[in-house]
A = this chain, B = another copy of it.
Amino acid sequence: MPESLYGKDLICTQEWSMDELVKCLELAEDMQKHRFSPKYTKLLKDRTFFMFFYNPSVRTRQSFECAATELGGHAQYLEPGGMRLKTKKSAGETVEDAAQVMSRYACGMGIRILEDKVAAYGDGDNMLREYAKWSDIPIVSMAHDKYHPCQGLADIMGLRKHIGENLKGKKLLLYWGHGALARSWCSVQEAALLYSRFGMDVTIASPEGYDLDPAVIAATKKNCAENHQKFEIIHDPKAGYSGAHVVYSRNWMSPNAYLNGEFQKPLEIEKALKYTDWICDEAKMKLTDNGLYIHPMPIDRGHEVTDEVASGKRSIIYDVAENRLHVQKAIMALTMSEKYK
């Protein structure tokens, strides 16, 4: 049994021990079974959780606000546009001041910052760590440019349900899909890190020129090695499917996405739309070992994956989306509720 997680930040799952991650998953699983049980509905009674959305979101906003509600608390939806924070270009409040005051009001804070709201890859991660430095309350990533820990845990919770608790040796294909959205690296990097952590064999497939963060790749390799599993990166749109137990298809931007200090969205989309072979379809899925289909949503259907696969029998996308709620409740309970002190 790990020590109490009370007060701990969750910026990257790599910074939590396996014991801590499993404790969180087990609590999430019990919270799913006993969703409105009084043992859970008072954990954050009358407490405030701040949700700080630099970028808007569907799933994340809905599931976090819902999580706070189900724990008896309240999530405040905050947009920095309404917050007069100091930026390089304008006068305003420092993170030092903002974070210290927010610590007086709330039991925890979630932050989402990625894509066009950062000027260079890594800026979002730095921002979260700046908040963590000055806050007395836990900071939880609600997706930022580097990681998406809540998505990773929701994925694993889905795999535990559909495959079983022991994921050792199961093969993940992390597959680049073409598309019209120029997506952040956070979900796929999180998946690489966390699935490998849980003992899975990881293959990343993308066209040339879509390398992920080298530090994340190195950490994933290390995770695989520690679990005696294979790790590989390939550039073939089909080969990786062979024998896969889980296929995760998703578009992601190239390492050139932030050239010149700005998010090159139109260029990225134009480039990505050319790789029409890179779509997860039924023919490719037939090459897998009866593989599950997984995606963090929202899905760009017709680009990342066909309707047939996304709405097919082996798709667990809605289960995983639902899990966002349960794992976030577990994270908030463990790190923010005095009952788990």
Which residues of A approach B to under 8 Å, CB–CB?
Answer: 36, 41, 45-48, 50, 56-59, 61-63, 65-66, 69-70, 72-74, 76-78, 81-84, 91-94, 96-98, 100-102, 104-106, 179-181, 297-301, 303, 310-311, 317-318, 321-322, 325
Copies in the complex: 3
A92 touches B298 (CB 8 A): yes
- Chain B minimum-CB-distance residue to A319: B104
A84 touches B106 (CB 8 A): no
If A91-B300, A318-B100 touch, does A56 touch B69 (CB 8 Å cutoff)? no
B41 touches A45 (CB 8 A): yes
B41 touches A96 (CB 8 A): no
- Chain B minimum-CB-distance residue to A42: B46
By Cβ-Cβ distance, the 8 closest A-B pairs, closest first, are A93-B298, A56-B82, A104-B322, A91-B180, A69-B74, A101-B321, A48-B66, A66-B105
- Chain B minimum-CB-distance residue to A69: B74
Query: When the two chains form the complex, which single residue of B63, B72, B297 contacts A46, counting CB atoms closer than 8 Å?
Result: B72
B91 touches A179 (CB 8 A): yes
| A40 nearest CB across to chain B (Å) | 9
Cβ contacts under 8 Å, A96 to chain B: 311
- Chain B minimum-CB-distance residue to A302: B91
A50 touches B74 (CB 8 A): no
- Chain B minimum-CB-distance residue to A323: B104
Q: From DSSP, what is the main secondary structure of chain A's interface residues? A: mixed
Cβ contacts under 8 Å, A72 to chain B: 46
A84 touches B58 (CB 8 A): yes
A106 touches B303 (CB 8 A): no
B297 touches A105 (CB 8 A): no
15 A-B residue pairs with CB within 8 Å: A36-B45, A47-B69, A56-B83, A56-B84, A61-B76, A61-B82, A62-B78, A62-B101, A65-B76, A69-B74, A74-B74, A84-B298, A91-B181, A92-B300, A101-B321
* A180 vs B93: C-alpha distance when bound (angstroms): 12
- Chain B minimum-CB-distance residue to A55: B82
B41 touches A322 (CB 8 A): no
* A301 vs B94: C-alpha distance when bound (angstroms): 8
A101 touches B318 (CB 8 A): yes
* A70 vs B107: C-alpha distance when bound (angstroms): 12
| A103 nearest CB across to chain B (Å) | 9
* A262 vs B82: C-alpha distance when bound (angstroms): 21
Query: When the two chains form the complex, which single residue of B46, B63, B66, B310 contacts A69, counting CB atoms closer than 8 Å?
Result: B46
Interface centre among A98, A298, A301, A310 (most CB of B within 10 A): A298
B73 touches A297 (CB 8 A): no
| A248 nearest CB across to chain B (Å) | 16
| A339 nearest CB across to chain B (Å) | 12
| A23 nearest CB across to chain B (Å) | 23
